[in-house]
Amino acid sequence: MQFFFADDSAQNGARSGMGKIVAFGGVLTPADQLRTLTQRIDEIASRFGIPAGEEIKWSPKKGGWIYSNLQGENRAKCYKEILNAAQAAGCKAVVTACDFEMRNLKPEWGFERCVTYTLERVSTHLAKSSEQAIIIADRPSGGHKEADQFLTAFVDHLSSSHNHMLEETFSLNMLTAQSHMTRHLQIADLVVAITTAMVAGQTKWASEYFEIVKGMFLQNVLGYIGGTGLKVYPDKLVNLYYWVLGEKVFVKAANGMGWPLPSENILYHSNDGT
């Protein structure tokens, strides 16, 4: 049994012609590592002086302890230790990032695609070992009404006749929890926000953490992350697998087809141009 701790993120695109990037993803954590990983993160937080109950976030709230007291090199060391602890515990990451404006989608439709693609990849990975997972997502900040709407939409999606594989993989309908009480959701926040920033080209702060995150991404049978651990949408963004992941080939393992990257036929043949 595994647990998939999920979160969402959004960043304004810094690359030429890019709109706002929305993302959904998280970390798969083996059930037998849950308590140990929580204790490890608590130990790291305590060593850096973070008060008990203080939420660890990529963008800590203004006025909070981390925002005011843990800055610069100390924050970097703390967050890297947390990400390394997650990797050592066997956590695996999956993130889908979508430029919904590029496809003239409503933001909620772009987000729905992110959820769909992420869960499909988690399901495919778990099916290889006949494992199941429970999904725990960060509770929407608006309150019970927003949480109920989010969960209802997910249940409708999971019960669709086109999602039998998802039904067989996930043991329960999605659960939500408050992230300030769940260390694993805080890891998901770091992983998804850092990845979203890298895809959006907002790399100034994210790049020094990304090598650790990249080490957690799911890979296909040929060892590539692009399209598996990290999925970008629409497909005209595929060159970002080269610029973000450093992968020189995009491979669809299901049909054995591959394309050299960066491709001149789609966006971002250069890193920040079109």
Q: What is the rounded distance in angstroms from the CA atom of residue 198 to the CA atom of residue 209?
A: 10
46-99, pLDDT tens digit by residue? 999 999 989 999 999 999 999 999 999 999 999 999 999 999 999 999 999 999
Phi, psi of 187 (to 5 degrees): -65, -45
DSSP assigned state of 60? P
Look at residue 152 in the predicted model and tell me its pLDDT.
58
Look at residue 102 in the predicted model and tell me its pLDDT.
84
Nearest Cα to Cα of residue 58 among 3, 95, 30: 95
- Strands (DSSP E) contained in the chain are 2-12, 20-30, 92-99, 133-138, 175-177, 230-233, 249-252, 257-260
Look at residue 179 in the predicted model and tell me its pLDDT.
85
Residue matched to tokens 């408050």? 178
| C-alpha 153 chain-centroid distance | 20
User: Mutual orientation of helices 183-200 and 34-47 as an angle, nearest 10°?
Assistant: 80
Residues 5 and 184 sit within 8 Å (Cβ to Cβ) = yes
Token pair in block for residue 256: 């054995």
Q: What's the rounded mean pLDDT across residues 31-43?
A: 97
248-258, pLDDT tens digit by residue? 999 876 666 78
Residues 170 and 158 sit within 8 Å (Cβ to Cβ) = yes
104-151, pLDDT tens digit by residue? 777 777 888 898 899 999 999 998 888 989 999 886 554 445 445 555
CATH topology for the 2-236 domain: Nucleotidyltransferase; domain 5 (3.30.420)
Instruction: Tell me which of 97-101, 172-176, 188-192 is least confident.
Output: 172-176
Q: What's the rounded mean pLDDT across residues 150-162?
A: 56
Q: Which residues of 13-34 are buried (b: 16+ CB within 10 A; e: fewer)?
A: bebeebbbbbbbbbbbbbeebb
Q: What is the rounded distance in angstroms from the CA atom of residue 33 to the CA atom of residue 197?
A: 28
Reply yes or no on whether the pLDDT at 236 is more than 60: yes
Supply the pTM of this predicted model: 0.92
What are the structural domain ranges in the chain?
A: 2-236
